[in-house]
Amino acid sequence: MSNRTADEIRSGRVMSTQCMFATSLGHERDLGLNFWESQAPRIEGLGVSVAGPESARVIDWVGRLDGFAQSVDQRVKMAGWMETFAQRGGQLVIHGAAVGDLDFFARRYDLVLVAAGKGELVSMFGRDADRSPHTEPQRALAVAYVNGLGPRPEHPDFDAVRCNIVPGVGELFVMPTLTTGGRADILFWEGVPGGPLDVFQGVKDPSEHLALTLELMEKFTPWEYARATKVELTDAGGTLAGRYAPTVRNPVGHLPGGGLVLGVADVVVANDPITGQGSNSASKCAAAYLAAIVEHGDRPFDEAWMRSAFDRYWKTAEPVTKWTNAMLAPPPEHVLQLLGAAGELQPIADRFANGFDDPADFENFFFDPEKASAYLASVASGA
């Protein structure tokens, strides 16, 4: 059930940024849903730059991914999947769902899943305060899909996601993508609320949004601006701005009529996009739920099963949430040392890059100063 048709989604405004890493792409591939794999750019690296005084780069490196990543505009993907679902015999209903509809569905169907972005349906799932340290948005978000971005001079022979950190100000992410008109790039600012990047609220005109994006790039990340002087928006719907508080919610929604529904992906775990995990987490959530459904067989999908299905997903979601919340805070000294060392020692850069595919690995070297120091020493002695 969707409140928009596939065509309305495809011709509408962009809904997100997204970069899916190898594990998440594998879930799509396993189900034969990787329709755009041959068309989307192959992202083979992940680079980090840190701005210092007078917008000079004090850190700059790129790690190589063990398996390629890809970004497909969700307008393309969701529209294509909806059409395929209907072609294969699924019943696709175009109608905005309210809580009253869910009451009806919960009586009629074995299991009802809610994958809403915001609004009334999400409010049924209570906030888990123990797992949600933030009550306010931690970044102001501004996205522009563009054509005409020049190659990155440090690695013109392969594509990479670039993370540009401007301490105390925010982050600029640049990533290649496949959109409705073909190959493009995403320029994505994450600004500290109230800071110099928090200027997109109320900007309705797409061209004004792009001009503001480029103006901020020229000021804070001139090395990225240098290849963006000839860009133009991919389409009139190619911009997006907003903010939300990162939140983990109770996975089970209780309906007025006594029925139960299970939340999916951002409904239950909505992290800030600073670590690029949203679409990856959604894929991993779907895979965990699918396995739990198949294993359960013909037994009722009661509340105990719903909670166990979520617990299965939380095993991969918890490290993502911990890492994302850490990245939203000013980096401690040992993290700055890690980022700096990655510019000198390629194995560190590569490990950091591959952590975006498997965030659980950060537990082994990222959070604890002693583990970080031991890891740096081991790599340095090996080198």
Please name which of 236, 175, 164 lies closest in space to residue 197, comparing C-alpha atoms: 164
- Residue 273's Cβ-side half-sphere holds a number of Cα atoms within 13 Å equal to 25
For residue 139, give Cα distances in angstroms to 142, 165, 171, 197.
10, 13, 9, 9
CA–CA distance, 221 with 173 (Å, rounded to integer):
11
Amino acid at 307: R
Q: What local confidence, expressed as pLDDT, does residue 220 receive?
A: 97
Q: Which residues of 131-143 are buried (b: 16+ CB within 10 A; e: fewer)?
A: bbeeeeebbbbbb
Q: What local confidence, expressed as pLDDT, does residue 116 receive?
A: 87
Please name which of 360, 363, 366, 330 lies closest in space to residue 348, comparing C-alpha atoms: 366
Q: What local confidence, expressed as pLDDT, does residue 55 receive?
A: 85
201 and 176 Cβ atoms separated by less than 8 Å: no
Which residues on neighbouring strands pair with residue 265, listed in sequence order? Answer: none
The Cα angle at residue 226 between residues 222 and 230, in degrees rounded to 5: 130
Q: What local confidence, expressed as pLDDT, does residue 347 receive?
A: 97
Which residues on neighbouring strands pair with residue 160, listed in sequence order? Answer: 45
Helical axes 303-328 vs 278-296, angle rounded to 10°: 160
Amino acid at 157: D
Mean pLDDT of the chain: 96
The Cα angle at residue 230 between residues 145 and 74, in degrees rounded to 5: 10
Q: Which residues of 252-278 are buried (b: 16+ CB within 10 A; e: fewer)?
A: bbebeeebbbbbbbbbbbbbbbbbbbb
User: What tokens does 249 get?
Assistant: 């919610």
Question: To 10 degrees, the CA torsion angle through 13, 270, 59, 225?
Answer: 10
Q: Kindly give the parts of the chain with pLDDT less than 70.
A: none
125 and 267 Cβ atoms separated by less than 8 Å: yes
189 and 141 Cβ atoms separated by less than 8 Å: yes
Q: What local confidence, expressed as pLDDT, does residue 337 receive?
A: 95
Question: pTM of the full predicted structure?
Answer: 0.96
151: Cβ–Cβ under 8 A, 6 or more apart, which residues?
227
CA–CA distance, 372 with 194 (Å, rounded to integer):
32
User: What tokens does 194 get?
Assistant: 């109230």
